[in-house]
């Protein structure tokens, strides 16, 4: 096997706080992970986990408070405004709300043309390129002359994908791209993303709260809680044998669409704490069934628990080796 | 667009106002053809004559045909109001757009706007005309200064909203230049509130000019605007009420129609605004 | 034999719009037994929400809805009433009392200017005639019932001071305050986080076991349906396309839409214990516009099993045996078998 190459995206100790300085909202609190070229990394979490904020901060749509985001080894925050603007063609995003992500007053052709002309692409053959892009996402060239409101949610999401692909990106942040869609349409878009990813060799950061979709689409998963990383693992290992108590609870809480599946749902007690007032030590300790006194004292570090699986939990004693 | 017009047409009073304004505009534009008398022709023998077949609205203290003066005066009054509306909308939009979009410029610009707004309209206009001297252009300038802050505030508020919309973030993520974002994405979504402001400022300007001229600090009395007409003839009002009544009615009807039209346009655009956004 | 708590027959709701008549709900029939949970499953345009609003008579007057059909509800006293034709005053007596409803967005369903305790107390005072102090005490008991910690304190808090999960519990407390016999829950957990959703679902199950109330659960989440419903009604484009008890529905879905829906879930792929399939099964196309419904079966344009006859007429909902119904000419009916 070849040696480990520089990861395409590297996030180091990323922090993003909002609001006033003495009691800020700690949306992202010391998050680190990396994404290798060609891989799809899943970012999973509930409200307050910071997953959406991370997605936007990685693309520098929001400025970081501390930490670094490296693209091919370069710190994005160190780039000038103009260099960053031009780099954006390589780093794209698909949004959650297909009803709001397209300018309602612009025709699809204008929307796609704008993307192309911003980076000087397809000069002299815009119309053809737009037709190509529409076909790439499963729409027809004649759709170009219509307005967004003439399309369904699923179709609008396809248009959003076409727009992101128009600038020929390497890396795409997919911020809950399926949440606003019906189940039957989700399957269509999942297939589309998987196809495109393979055809265009895309690297993806897939943000979602839907574990089933993450399991289907992602190679590795980062589990977030209240702005911190709880666990990092390959998809297969995470779902087969979750190490962190939060991951275990999360998996147990999502009902499988099978009435014969007997996994007992023991719901967590209490609510997700406010990101303005996170618990001391391990942020999950207030709801963790295995919390001990030490959990309130130290913030557990994300450590290798064997076979490259990372977990931020003091209780190594709970980890049983695979049978 | 056609659907909006259809719905506009359902509101009778708005249509009536629009029709009235159209009539006034046509009369103003084609003044020489619509009035048989020259507005500046004095005929001292015919002064303060009541409305009759010869003089539809009577004559003023110098024997000038009131109808001709009102029709010609419309040109000036409407021109002043239109220029004011245009000027304040352009200046106010620029101010509001920049303040709303660029966070660091927001506070200083808005403090400037607050300072401008803290003066009562008429006093500010009077002061400016007093400094700059009475002339048509100076009146326009003064009124533009008075109304720009109002437009700026409304535009800034809308800009703050539009700036946070997802499709604006989307084009930012594409790498679209800021200037293009402002011109192509933000500004078109501000047109609705701006349009509403235009019609209201038009109305206020007509009243303001009339008020200023009435007080003698507006346009020079030689220029026949409706305001100067009322100002000049007010001392004869007890003997010949028509010299004040008809110019006054012209002012009221025009301003009222503009406001009704503005209301109608705003009501129509508001729910649509939410829908299109 | 116990009579059903609610029996809906031939329910139809149409809305006249500028662009034509929209049939949101057409010929919907189902029933809910006492103490049981019936889930209505559907995607957008299925008419599931309009169904619940029609039953509760909560459609806005400006919608000028045209409602047909019957909704026979058996009150606690044993009286049978038709919810759709009940006089307004009597309907108001039932609503919030025996017939309760909880919605998807607890923030907009709770009045922001009244404390949580006041809102629950109001309902109790109205329907049970209790005095202020007694009503407030009852409200506290309700908050305890839905496992809200520090209930005495929460009584005096406002909705915006509570988290989403808490607010939904308050909604449930409000619904439970007058001891309902039927609870209509319209996507109650869709807006909540997964771990909070699990709490709410377990709570609802427990309350049902304790009070014996029936639940009409409207959702698009098949995982929730699998574990929390006794019977399932699948809706598509305003009609019931399949109805069955939960296990048979998941084990052997009869209608092609139900089959497609279950097949396209990524979760299903894993549950089978097989390696990740390269492509997910996806139902092609999308729901037709309610203004231009297909002439025959509404699902026909997207159905891989459609034949020529499917496009000619809307299939009837037929009994397919073992308490199952399906609206598809390709599914054998009991009558046909018997013939």
Q: Does A84 touch chain C (CB under 8 A)?
A: no
Chain A nearest-CA residue for C197? A253
φ/ψ region of C47 (left if φ > 0, alpha if ψ in -120 to 50, else beta) reads left
Q: Which pLDDT score is estimated for B73?
A: 85
Chains in contact with chain C (at least 3 beta-carbon pairs closer than 8 A): A
Q: Which pLDDT score is estimated for B273?
A: 47
Q: 3-class DSSP state for residue C184? A: strand
Q: Which pLDDT score is estimated for A1?
A: 43
How far is the C-alpha of C256 from the C-alpha of C262, rounded, in Å?
A: 10
DSSP string, B39-71: TT---GGGTTPPS-SSSTT-B-TT--BHHHHHH
Beta bridge partners of C219: C41
Cβ within 8 Å, pair A183-C220: yes
A-B Cβ pairs (cutoff 8 Å, strict): 54
Longest CA–CA span in chain B (Å) reads 77
Q: Which pLDDT score is estimated for A2?
A: 45
Is the model's pLDDT at A269 over the cut of 90? no
A161-165, A218-222, B203-207: lowest mean pLDDT where?
A: B203-207
Mean pLDDT of A212-217: 93
Q: Which pLDDT score is estimated for B240?
A: 83
Q: Which pLDDT score is estimated for B14?
A: 84
Contact present, C182 and C99 (Cβ < 8 Å): yes
Tokens of B174: 């594409």
φ/ψ region of C147 (left if φ > 0, alpha if ψ in -120 to 50, else beta) reads left
Per residue in B127-141, is it b (16+ CB within 10 Å) or e — as a string?
A: ebbeeeebebebbbb
Mean pLDDT of C43-66: 91
pLDDT in tens, chain B (277 residues): 566 666 666 678 888 888 888 888 888 888 777 777 777 777 777 778 788 877 778 888 887 888 888 888 888 888 899 999 999 999 999 999 999 999 899 999 999 999 888 888 788 888 888 888 888 888 899 899 989 999 999 999 999 999 999 999 999 999 999 999 999 999 988 988 898 888 889 988 988 888 888 888 888 877 888 888 888 888 888 888 888 888 888 888 888 888 888 888 777 776 554 444 3
The distance from CA C18 to its chain's CA centroid, rounded to whole angstroms, is: 29
Chain B: give the shortest CA distance to residue A94, in Å. 8
CB-closest option in A89, A95, A119 to B170: A95
Is the model's pLDDT at A74 over the cut of 70? yes
Q: Does A259 touch chain C (CB under 8 A)?
A: yes
**Among B52, B84, B105, residue whose Cα is nearest residue B199:** B84
Q: What is the pLDDT of residues C159-210, one digit of tens each?
A: 998 888 889 999 999 999 988 999 999 999 888 888 989 999 999 999 999 9
Global confidence as pTM: 0.87
Token pair 């299903």 is at which residue?
A: C268
Q: How far is CA B195 from CA A178, B159, B161, in A?
A: 38, 15, 17
Strand pairing category for A66-71 and A9-18: antiparallel
Tokens of B79: 């021109």
Tokens of C338: 């018997």
Grade residue A323 by pLDDT with cuts at 50, 70 and 90: very low
Q: Does C276 touch chain A (CB under 8 A)?
A: yes
Average predicted confidence (pLDDT) for chain C? 89
Describe the strand order of the beta sheet including C324-326 as a list of residue ranges: C99-102, C182-186, C214-219, C37-41, C231-236, C239-245, C324-326, C318-321
> C98: burial class by Cβ within 10 Å (0-12, 13-18, 19+)?
buried
Q: What is the pLDDT of residues C268-319, one digit of tens each?
A: 766 555 666 778 888 988 888 888 889 999 999 999 999 999 999 999 999 9
Cβ within 8 Å, pair C193-A46: yes
Q: Determine how many CB atoms are found less than 10 A away from the CB of residue B183.
A: 12
Handedness of CA A143, A90, A35, A12 (dihedral sign): negative
Q: What is the pLDDT of residues C198-222, one digit of tens each?
A: 999 999 999 999 999 999 999 999 9
Mean pLDDT of A206-230: 94
Test mutation, C189, C275, C280, chain A, max A CBs within 10 A: C280
Mean pLDDT of C62-80: 91
Contact present, B129 and B212 (Cβ < 8 Å): yes
Give chain A positions within 8 Å (CB) of B184.
Answer: 114
Q: Which pLDDT score is estimated for B162?
A: 94
Q: What is the pLDDT of residues A17-43, one digit of tens each?
A: 998 778 899 999 999 999 999 999 999
Chain A nearest-CA residue for C232? A259
DSSP string, C200-241: HHHHHHHHHHHH--EEEEEES-HHHHHHH-SEEEEEETTEEE
Domain ranges of chain C: 105-177, 247-338
Complex ipTM, two decimals?
Answer: 0.90
Q: Does A251 touch chain C (CB under 8 A)?
A: no
**Among A12, A164, A2, A118, residue whose Cα is nearest residue A74:** A12
Q: Which pLDDT score is estimated for B216?
A: 80
DSSP string, C161-181: GS-HHHHHHHHHHHHHTT--S
Q: Determine how many CB atoms are found less than 10 A away from the CB of residue A292.
A: 13
Strand pairing category for A303-304 and A66-71: unpaired
CB-closest option in B166, B177, B277 to A97: B166
Q: Which pLDDT score is estimated for A44?
A: 96
Structural domains in chain A, sorted by start: 7-90+169-318 (3.40.50.300), 105-164 (no CATH)
How far is the C-alpha of B133 from the C-alpha of A45, rounded, in Å?
A: 68
How far is the C-alpha of A272 from the C-alpha of C192, rounded, in Å?
A: 11
Greater confidence (A150 vs B2) lies with A150
DSSP string, A130-188: HHHHHHHTT--GGGGGS-GGGS-HHHHHHHHHHHHHHT--SEEEEESTTTTS-HHHHHH
CB-closest option in A212, A259, A272 to C270: A212
Token pair 């700036």 is at which residue?
A: B163
Tokens of A11: 């996030």
Greater confidence (C197 vs A6) lies with C197
Q: Which pLDDT score is estimated for C271?
A: 55
Q: Does C225 touch chain A (CB under 8 A)?
A: yes
């Amino acid at each position: 096997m070849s040696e480990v190459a520089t990861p395409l995206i590297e996030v180091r100790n990323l922090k993003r706080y909002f609001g006033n300085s003495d009691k800020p909202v700690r949306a992202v609190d010391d998050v680190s992970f990396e994404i290798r070229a060609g891989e799809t990394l899943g970012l999973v979490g509930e409200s307050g986990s910071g997953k959406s904020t991370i997605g936007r901060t990685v693309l520098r749509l929001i400025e970081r408070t501390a930490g670094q985001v490296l693209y091919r080894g370069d710190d994005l925050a160190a780039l000038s405004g103009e260099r960053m603007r031009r780099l954006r063609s390589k780093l794209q995003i698909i949004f959650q709300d297909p009803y709001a992500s397209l300018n309602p007053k612009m025709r699809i052709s204008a929307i796609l043309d704008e993307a192309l002309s911003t980076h000087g692409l397809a000069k002299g053959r815009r119309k053809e390129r737009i037709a190509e892009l529409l076909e790439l996402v499963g729409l027809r060239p004649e759709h170009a002359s219509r307005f967004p409101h003439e399309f369904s949610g699923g179709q609008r999401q396809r248009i959003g994908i076409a727009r992101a692909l128009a600038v020929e990106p390497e890396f795409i942040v997919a911020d809950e791209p399926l949440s606003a869609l019906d189940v039957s349409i989700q399957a269509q878009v999942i297939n589309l993303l998987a196809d495109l990813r393979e055809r265009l060799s895309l690297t993806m950061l897939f943000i979602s709260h839907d574990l089933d979709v993450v399991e289907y689409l992602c190679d590795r998963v980062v589990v977030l809680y209240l702005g911190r990383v709880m666990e990092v693992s390959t998809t297969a290992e995470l779902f087969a044998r979750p190490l962190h108590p939060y991951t275990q609870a999360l998996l147990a809480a999502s009902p499988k669409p099978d009435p014969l599946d007997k996994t007992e749902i023991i719901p967590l007690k209490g609510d997700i704490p406010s990101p303005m007032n996170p618990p001391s030590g391990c942020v999950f300790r207030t709801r963790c069934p295995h919390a001990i006194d030490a959990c309130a004292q130290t913030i557990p570090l994300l450590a290798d628990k064997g076979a490259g699986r990372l977990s931020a939990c003091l209780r190594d004693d709970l980890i049983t080796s695979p049978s | 667009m056609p659907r909006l017009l259809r719905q506009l047409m359902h509101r009778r009073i708005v249509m009536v106002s629009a029709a009235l304004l159209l009539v006034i505009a046509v009369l103003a534009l084609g003044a020489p053809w619509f009035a048989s008398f020259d507005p500046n022709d004095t005929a001292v023998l015919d002064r303060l004559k009541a409305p009759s077949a010869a003089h539809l609205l009577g004559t003023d203290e110098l024997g000038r045909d009131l109808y001709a003066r009102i029709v010609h005066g419309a040109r000036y009054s409407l021109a002043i109001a239109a220029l004011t509306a245009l000027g304040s909308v352009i200046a106010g939009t620029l101010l509001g757009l920049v303040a709303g979009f660029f966070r660091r410029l927001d506070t200083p610009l808005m403090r400037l706007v607050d300072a401008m707004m803290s003066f009562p309209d008429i006093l500010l206009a009077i002061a400016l005309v007093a400094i700059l001297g009475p002339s048509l252009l100076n009146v326009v300038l003064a009124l533009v200064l008075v109304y720009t802050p109002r437009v700026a505030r409304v535009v800034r508020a809308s800009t703050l909203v539009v700036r946070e919309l997802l499709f604006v973030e989307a084009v930012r993520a594409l790498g679209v230049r800021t200037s293009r974002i402002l011109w192509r994405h933000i500004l078109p979504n501000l047109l609705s509130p701006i349009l509403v402001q235009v019609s209201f400022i038009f109305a206020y300007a007509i009243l303001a000019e009339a008020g200023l001229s009435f007080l003698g600090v507006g346009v020079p009395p030689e220029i026949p605007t409706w305001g100067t007409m009322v100002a000049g003839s007010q001392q004869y009002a007890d003997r010949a009420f028509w010299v004040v009544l008809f110019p006054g009615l012209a002012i009221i009807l025009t301003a009222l129609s503009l406001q009704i039209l503005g209301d109608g346009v705003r009501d129509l655009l508001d729910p649509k605004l939410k829908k299109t956004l | 034999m116990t009579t059903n708590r609610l029996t809906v027959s031939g329910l139809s709701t149409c809305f006249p719009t500028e662009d034509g008549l929209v049939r949101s709900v057409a010929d919907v029939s189902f029933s809910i037994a006492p103490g049981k949970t019936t889930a209505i499953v559907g995607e957008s345009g299925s008419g599931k929400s309009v169904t619940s609003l029609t039953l509760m008579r909560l459609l806005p007057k400006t919608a000028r809805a045209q409602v047909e059909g019957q909704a026979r509800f058996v009150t606690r006293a044993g009286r049978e009433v038709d919810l759709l034709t009940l006089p307004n005053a009597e309907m108001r007596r039932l609503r919030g009392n025996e017939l309760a409803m909880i919605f998807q967005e607890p923030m907009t369903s709770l009045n922001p200017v009244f404390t949580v305790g006041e809102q629950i107390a109001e309902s109790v005072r109205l329907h049970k005639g209790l005095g202020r102090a007694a009503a407030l005490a009852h409200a506290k008991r309700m908050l305890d019932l839905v496992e809200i910690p520090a209930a005495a304190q929460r009584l005096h808090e406002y909705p915006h001071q509570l988290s989403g999960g808490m607010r939904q519990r308050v909604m449930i407390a409000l619904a439970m305050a007058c001891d309902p016999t039927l609870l209509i829950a319209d996507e109650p957990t869709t807006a909540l986080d997964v771990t909070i959703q699990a709490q709410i679902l377990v709570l609802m199950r427990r309350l049902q076991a304790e009070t014996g109330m029936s639940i009409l659960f409207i959702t698009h989440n098949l995982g929730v349906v699998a574990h929390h419903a006794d019977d399932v009604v699948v809706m598509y484009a305003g009609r019931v396309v399949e109805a069955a008890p939960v296990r048979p529905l998941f084990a052997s879905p009869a209608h092609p839409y139900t089959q497609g829906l279950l097949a396209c879930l990524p979760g299903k792929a894993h549950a089978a214990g097989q390696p990740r399939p390269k492509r997910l099964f996806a139902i092609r196309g999308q729901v037709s516009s309610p203004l231009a419904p297909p002439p025959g079966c509404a699902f026909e344009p997207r159905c891989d099993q459609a034949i020529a006859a499917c496009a000619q007429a809307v299939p009837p909902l037929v009994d397919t045996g073992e308490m199952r119904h399906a609206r598809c000419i390709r599914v054998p009916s009991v009558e046909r078998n018997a013939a």
